[in-house]
Amino acid sequence: MSESCIGNCSACGSDCGERKAESLLAQLNPRSSVKKVIAVVSGKGGVGKSTVTAQLAVAMARKGYRVGVLDADITGPSIPKAFGVTECQGADKSGLYPALTRTGIQVMSINLLLDNDTDPVLWRGPVIAGAVKQFWTDVIWEDVDYLFVDMPPGTGDVPLTVFQSLPVDGVVVVTSPQALVSMIVSKAVKMANMMHIPVLGFVENYSYITCPDCGKRLSVFGESRLEEVAAGFGLPVLAKLPIDPAVAQAFDQGNMETLDTEDLRGVAGAVEKL
């Protein structure tokens, strides 16, 4: 290694056999305090990942923890809608203060910065990824025990940026019962493994619907194969959530904090063990 080496291999043209690994972790805002970061991911869209993220945040807040939600789905943000928040608390020279929900959950999303929440975000991938990174570096997260990152679906720029730039402590994978679950779940788990981030387990959303007349559970999307897939990875199924019109209504009305979160006790327990 050259005596003039500064440790920045990306800017170096030398063929050095003792190169240092350069950390890509972004610096947390100096006025922030975040103890644990949990990424909520899915291999595809439409599985209710944001709904699960919001419910999990509520579940942990009810346990007495200080909770934050970073909405990393820049082109399809929905977390502010779930909690009925429309604007940040403000900003000063130190950074931007996230929105605060009725029960004290801190929320940051691109929709809190737009003039109109229906305005599209027409940015290319690197710009979107940079915005997510700024939600970590420029936002003041106050004494957060658990910060949940609501990820966009897939394995593109934003998930890669989050896994490289934020100190993610664990991943929760959200899926649904369709037959293609094996392929979709495998992609999400393998990405986490490649980034050396532990997967806490799976949440199957839309798992069943309960007949209002006879109480029988009906598998609308077919019988689940998640246990088989999870066993192949040696990971637990943390929860199976039903199709529940009350959840959809609460999300649309910004009342997620009024919902019963008992079905998520297994997920909350896995997060607590971190």
Token pair, residue 67, equals 């909770």
Tens of pLDDT, residue by residue, the chain (274 residues): 444 554 455 556 655 555 444 678 999 999 999 999 999 999 888 899 999 999 999 999 999 999 999 999 999 999 999 999 999 999 999 999 999 999 999 999 999 999 888 999 999 999 999 999 999 999 999 999 999 999 998 888 899 999 999 999 999 999 988 767 778 888 999 999 999 999 999 999 999 998 888 889 898 888 888 899 899 999 999 999 999 999 999 999 999 999 999 999 999 999 999 8
Pairing of strands 144-150, 67-71: parallel
Q: What is the pLDDT of residue 7?
A: 46
pTM, full prediction = 0.90
Q: What is the pLDDT of residue 215?
A: 86
Q: What is the pLDDT of residue 6?
A: 47
